[in-house]
Amino acid sequence: MDQQHYNDIVSIIRKYRGLTQDCMKLLIQKFPQDSYDTLYSILSLEYQKRMKCSHVKNQMNKNKYWDLYKRGVEDDNNPGIIIRMAAQFDIAPCLVAKCILNKYFETLETSGDKDQSSVNINIYLRDTCLIQNMDLAYEIFLCTLYDNIYSPLTETMKASLGQQYEVKLYKEAVALGLAFRDEEHLRKNGYDKTPDCKLEVPVAMDGFVINWIESKALFGDEDAHKDYMKNQYLSYWNRFGPGLVIYWFGYLEKIVEPSDKRFIIRDHLPTNIIHISSSTFSKNLKNRI
């Protein structure tokens, strides 16, 4: 994706105030040429950056959120009190819900109930039936439905999507006749840094020798790419040599360095493959050393 088009998408996200679900609808309307997954991935990455910047402020305002929630209940407002608060203050519903749950358990402890200091809020966010206050339980449940960034449901869907594209990678690799070991096999054999696909025999893709392939079911923006390069890609390169990174939902052209000999970046698995014989590989390896 070129820089200008990316900037146009990000500009709308950064200016938007309200629920990310509504922002997503706007993006789909404004950029029909882009896939849902690409737009959602850019939205998710940008929104998480925004929430990180406002994290401390949100924690400081938990008393305010709690008071507003209680007032809404006392006034017999319609369900969705916390969601409307999230839209008003431009915060993810589940993050507001966490603040309110924290304050709720603090009040239980103050009122003489058992010690709540070790309560894991995420457990109650995942299973709202555990919350004894029925009104609050329903409000938190609604947050998990309306929050498409921080909800436990969303996290599960993201994990499932990542696995789906790993399977897609393996199927395409088998169809191309590539011999490889998957991440699970590598971990069983003691590797701590494991790409999704480690080729048993290197191949040339787009004129570049590939020893490993990493699958990312997201859009590759500059910040995400730098983070992955620091924590994953460079480790793979040090252990296994040059490789391939696939950002299935596209990537920013800016992150590609044409002279980079460590890995190449694509949004698909290249099919123009040259299989390298063992003798050719040994010769190239000697020359490299």
- Element of type H or E holding 246: strand 243-247
For residue 32, CA distances in Å to 13, 57, 220 come to: 16, 35, 20
Residue 96 confidence (pLDDT): 94
- Mean pLDDT, to the nearest integer, of 256-277? 89
Rounded to two decimals, the pTM is 0.86
Answer whether residue 240 shows pLDDT above 70.
Answer: yes
pLDDT digits (tens, 9 = 90+) for 153-182: 999 999 999 999 999 999 999 999 999 998
Q: Average the pLDDT over 209-229 and give the result.
A: 95
Report, as an integer, the average pLDDT of 112-139: 83
Mean pLDDT, the chain, whole residue set: 89
Q: Environment class of residue 235 by beta-carbon count within 10 Å: exposed (0-12), middle (13-18) or buried (19+)?
A: middle
| Tokens matching residue 260 | 């980079």
Mean of pLDDT values over 97-108: 91
The whole-number pLDDT of residue 227 equals: 95
Q: Look at residues 214, 88, 81 and name the one whose alpha carbon lies nearest to residue 136.
A: 81
